[in-house]
Amino acid sequence: MDSKESENIAVTDAKAAAKGKAAEGAHPTADVAMKTKTQTRRGSKKGLAIVDLVLRLGASSAAVAAAYSPLSSEQILPFFTQFLQFHAEYNDLPTFTFFVVANAIAVGYIGLSMPFSIVCIIRPRAIGPRLLLVFCDTVMIALVVAAAGASSAIMYLAHNGNLDSNWLAICMQYTNFCQGLSGAVVASFVAAVFFMLLVVNSTFALKK
């Protein structure tokens, strides 16, 4: 090997080393940036998953209140003697049977959906459970809002009556009974708002 040749090899080696260094130098910063971005995104997705769980707890408490309140609101009005009484219960109005069943279904659904919500916290990038939750939450919005809307229409009628149809306001007599049911309707609308927030939250979590 002569001196020129060895010099040449040395030069190519140096160039290669420089290139390698440059490449190494470029990679780590890009990697760090990418990793930071990925971690930020992962973190925000995890945050949204935790919000999902909290909203689910809120929805369940509102739905429990809505389902339980009509069961406990009954009123007995004495009528002349104590042997002849008027007894008002929630299932005198068939709409409220549907209302209680719908809210009970919502409570049961939230119980079943909790594990999926927890999976989304542990694995923030999982798409399957989130899609399932969005789909079922949308159905639950419809169920709870339908129950709340139907019951509020009946409660409006019970409070105000309708002269054109000759339907009289029964809340004139059964004040406590009507108050309990109206509270339940409000709780059901609150549960519906929680479900709507759940859908919007999941949509944000699913977007890129």
Q: Which residues bind a second copy (CB under 8 A)?
A: 1-2, 4-5, 8-9, 12, 88, 92-95, 127, 130-131, 134-135, 138-139, 141-142, 145-154, 156-158, 162, 164-168, 170, 192, 196, 199-200, 202-204, 206-208
* Residue that the structure tokens 């809002």 belong to: 145
CA distances to 49, 96, 110, 133, 188 from 191, in Å: 19, 16, 11, 16, 5
Pick between residue 60 and residue 194 the one whose CB is nearest to a second copy: 194
Q: What residue has token string 């709507």?
A: 196
Measured CA to CA, the distance from residue 128 to residue 205 in angstroms comes to: 12
> Is 46 within 8 Å of 59 (Cβ atoms)?
no
* For a second copy, the closer CB: 60 or 151: 151
Q: How far is the CB of 189 from a second copy (least distance, A)?
A: 9
Q: Residue 5 Cβ, how far from a second copy at the closest point, in Å?
A: 5
- Closest contact distance (angstroms) between CB of 166 and a second copy is 7
Strand partners, 109: none
Judged by beta carbon, residue 9 or residue 57, the one nearer a second copy is 9
Which of residues 12 and 36 has its CB atom nearest to a second copy in the complex?
Answer: 12
Q: What is the dihedral of CA 151, 152, 154, 155, to 10 degrees?
A: 110
